[in-house]
Structures are given as structure tokens and as C-alpha cells.
Amino acid sequence: MKTKSLMQIIITTPELIYLKTMVETIKKGDRINVITVIISSDDHTIMFIGGNPEHPHTTLYHFDKKVTPLQSGMYSFDAQTFKEIVLDCAESHPLQIDLCSTNSSFPYRICASKRSGAKRFLHLSSAEPSHIDYLEALVNKKMHRFSLSQTTEIRRVITNNPFAEFIQIEKNTNKTSVQKRGIIYSLDNLNCEAILFDLTLNKESIESFKRLSCPNNNEIIPLSIDITHDNVIMSSSNGNSQSCSLADLSQFNQNKEENGTVVQQIDNIDKDALLKEIQSYKGNNTMKKENLSHLFLSHHGIFLICKTLKAGGICQLKSEASKSKKETLYNINLAELIHLHLTKSLPKDHTISLKILRLNDKTLWLALYKFKDDKNHLVKIQIEANYDENLKAEFGFMADNYPSDNEYSEPEQLDMLGFDF
């Protein structure tokens, strides 16, 4: 078959991120194994549609009509070979695609060179109907369009929480929360006009938001989002779109609903003193090796204790309620305690509230709260009750002999115990 070179499309490295994201979702054995390309000579654009058959992506590129006199049309080509071509491009290597005219029933054939010099050819066939249906649905869908300030604020939350599993923003109030390692934390509300629908992003849609709202890693642009009835989130900006599943949203909602029953609570804990004691554990390999600490509520006060065969430590948690009518002991994983981080928005000398929570599955959690009546904790870790009476007696002796200048007057009533970061 005779071919004649008609034009060359060059996709630069910054623009290539969308195609790379698209082809990375292509898997062997996909029920749809083609990429659809739509050429518009009127708009001087070429659009690619494909990727995961259930959740396609689109990406749009512009060309100079004078240099590239292409005919309008819709075609498809092999996805696996195209994936090989796209992923072969290095970070500093643009994608070069030659469109050649042919004497077949389709006007073009795609030719691309790999970095090794090897050639790959893609023969065109009819456009994939499901891709066309997806594009039509995307064009006709009434999506929620974010303003520049809303987009900027959501990107700020994403940037400040790089290990987020979920980010949720409540409509009208901009109340924001984030899940890390299965634990949900409250954040400061977005500082922009109110978002008019509930928005929850999982890991995949967080990455989509980052890509679509800042295409060249320099200028932030607004984007539009829609969440379908079957929990598919569709994001779009400047002709580029990505869709992904929110099937794991049910687990996030379950975690959020499990606030638990408050077993004990202590308010007005000295945050800075608590942080200083926790930080001191980081440099003590003897204590870290044991990987066990204790929270002890005694008749003499509330104490954080770490005990090993070789050494130990005790620190009274200064608080509004320093004594307990009933002695209670809890085990805390020291490694998890060390990795607790109090939010930077808490000012110096700010006090926090600590609660012991019992969830529906009967597990116990130590949770820290910014304010006494907060319903959403800043952070929490799982703990367990310790009923060892001998250990209680030993810790009680240590509490009895704790320096008197650290004691605090007994309040009229001790509520319950709680931890907040």
C-alpha cells in the first residue's frame, strides 16, 4: 500500500501528561482495545478518547490548519501499540506522530518512531461507538463549574495533604475533612465562595483534579465536575476530561459515621507539653524498641507513661481535669503515638480536648479535638484497655511520687477522656 507523508503532530512534554495518564489505564484483555481519534478541520483540533473502557479519558490538541490541512473525521486504532508509543517518550522527549495519506478506504495511517529508531504503524478503522457516546454525554452534561478561587482553594488542600485517601467538602459551608491511613481529620474550611454540592475526591480523582486544573504546572484554571448516580466522577477542563470510579466512597462514609461513644473525656490539655513529651520519644531508641506506652488516669492526675526493662518515663498531662475517681489504664502503640501530628493551624499555647471513643465494633480509640464540643477529631489512634492490677499499682506509686508542683486542683466533675490533634 502506497503512503505519502501528510503532516507531523508534535505533542510537547507538558501536554503529554494527559495521553500518558490515558494509556496507563489500558490493560491487556480490555473489552475495548482501541483509541478513538476525532479530527476537526473547522476547530483545528484533534481529540483522543480511550483508556479504561468503563471510565474513559479525553484529551484535546490544537494544530495549525495552514501547516496541517487535515480532513474532519472520526477513526480508531490499536490501543496497545499506541500505549507502547506514548510510554516510550522520555520526560524531555516529545511525542511525534506522522499522519500519512493512503489509498485505502481510510485517509490516514499513523506512523511513529521510538527512541531506539524502531517504527510503529497504526492502521485506522471505524470510530468506537462507546467513545462517541461518552463524548456526547460529556458535552451535554450539566456539570458544576468551579470558579478560579474555588479551584485554587481545593488545590491548596490537596497540596497540603499529599497522602490523603479522601478529601471531602460539604456544600454551602465549605467544611473540609481529609482521610489518612483510614482516619478522618477536620481541616479549616475553604476560604472562597461556597461550593453548591457535596464533593468527595478519592486518590484517583485527586490526581485528576491536580492534572486538569493546572495543565502545564504553572497556571491554575477552573474545571467542571459531575458525579453520576452510580458514583462515577467526571472532571473536565479545556477539552480534557477524565472519569473514575468512587466505588470506595462507601468505606469513607462508614469511617465518617463511626464517631463512636465517648467513654472518657478530658478538656483543656496543654498541647505544647504533650507534643514535647511525644517528640522526646523519637530520639530514645530504648523506648522505641519496646513500642509500648500507656495512658493512666489515676486519683492524682492524667499521665502518659512509657516503661521498659531498662528505662522509663512519666509525664503528667496538664488539663482542666487532673484527677480521676476511677483508675483506668490504656495501652498505646508508641510508633503510632510518635507519628501523630497536631495541625499547624493550632496557635501556640492552644489547649485541646482528649476523648476515649468506643466504636460500633467495640474497638477503643484515642482522639484529639481542637475544641471541647467538636464532633470531628483532628486525629485518632487505636488503643486497648489494660486490666493488669499490678501494673496499675506500680503506675499509681509513680503518680503518688510525681513532683507536687505539677499537680492541679480537682475539678467539680471529670467528664470523659479524649485525645485531639
pLDDT by 10s per residue, the chain, length 421: 445 556 778 888 778 888 999 999 999 989 999 999 998 888 888 899 999 999 999 999 887 766 566 778 899 999 999 999 999 887 667 888 888 777 667 777 888 888 888 889 898 999 999 999 999 988 888 899 999 999 999 999 999 998 899 999 999 999 998 988 777 777 889 999 999 999 999 999 999 999 899 876 678 988 999 988 778 899 999 889 999 989 888 878 777 655 568 888 888 888 888 888 888 888 788 888 888 889 998 877 889 998 888 888 898 887 765 555 678 999 998 888 887 766 656 777 778 888 888 877 788 988 888 887 776 677 788 899 999 999 999 998 888 888 765 444 444 444 433 333 3
Give me the phi and psi of 151, to 5 degrees please: -60, -45
**Distance spanning both ends of the chain, measured CA to CA:** 70
CB 95, CB 114: distance < 8 Å:
no
- What are the angstrom distances between the C-alpha of 230 and each of 32, 57, 201? 21, 18, 15
Strands 364-369, 312-316: pairing kind: unpaired
pTM: predicted TM-score of the whole model, two decimal places: 0.62
Burial 4-35 (b: 16+ CB within 10 A, else e): eebbebebeeebbebbebbbebbeeebebbbb
Does 141-254 match 3-128 at the fold level?
A: yes
Tens of pLDDT, residues 50-109: 999 999 999 998 877 665 667 788 999 999 999 999 998 876 678 888 887 776 677 778
Residue 158 to residue 26: CA distance in whole angstroms:
26
Helices and strands (H and E) in the chain: how many = 10, 25
| Total length of the chain | 421
Task: Supply 323's cell numbers.
Answer: 484527677
Query: Which one-letter amino acid corresponds to residue 389?
Result: E
Q: Does domain 259-406 have CATH number 3.40.190.10?
A: no
**Beta strand ranges found along 163-298 (DSSP E):** 166-169, 176-180, 183-187, 199-202, 224-227, 232-237, 240-245, 261-270, 292-297
For the domain made up of 141-254, give the CATH fold. DNA Polymerase III; Chain A, domain 2 (3.10.150)
Query: Which one-letter amino acid corresponds to residue 164?
Result: A
Tens of pLDDT, residues 385-408: 999 999 999 998 888 888 765 444
* CA torsion through residues 392, 398, 399, 401, sign: positive
For the domain made up of 3-128, give the CATH fold. DNA Polymerase III; Chain A, domain 2 (3.10.150)
- The domains of the chain are located at 3-128, 141-254, 259-406
- Using DSSP, state whether 308 is helix, strand or coil: coil
Residue 141 to residue 104: CA distance in whole angstroms:
37
The packing angle between helices 16-24 and 79-87, to 10°, is 130
**Residues with Cβ within 8 Å of residue 85, at least 6 apart in sequence:** 95, 97, 112, 114, 120
